Amino acid sequence: MDTKEHLKSVSDASFDTEVLKAEQPTLVDFWAPWCGPCRAMGPVLEEIARDYEGRLNVVKVNVDENPKISILYGVRSIPTLLLIKDGEIRETRVGMLPREQLAAIVDRSLQ
Is 35 one of the annotated active-site residues of the chain?
Answer: yes
Q: What is the pLDDT of residue 111?
A: 83
Per domain, the residue ranges of the chain are 3-110
> Of 7, 19, 38, 61, which residue is the catalytic one?
38
Q: What is the pLDDT of residue 110?
A: 87
Q: Is the dihedral of CA 45, 49, 50, 51 positive or negative?
A: positive
Q: What is the pLDDT of residue 7?
A: 87
Cβ–Cβ < 8 Å for 65, 32: no
> Of 12, 14, 22, 35, which residue is the catalytic one?
35
What is the CATH T-level fold of the domain 3-110, as seen in this structure? Glutaredoxin (3.40.30)
Residue 27: partners with Cβ closer than 8 Å, 6 or more residues away: 45, 48, 49, 56, 57, 58, 59, 81, 82, 83, 102, 106
pLDDT digits (tens, 9 = 90+) for 32-84: 999 999 999 999 999 999 999 999 999 999 999 999 999 999 999 999 999 99
Tell whether pTM > 0.85: yes
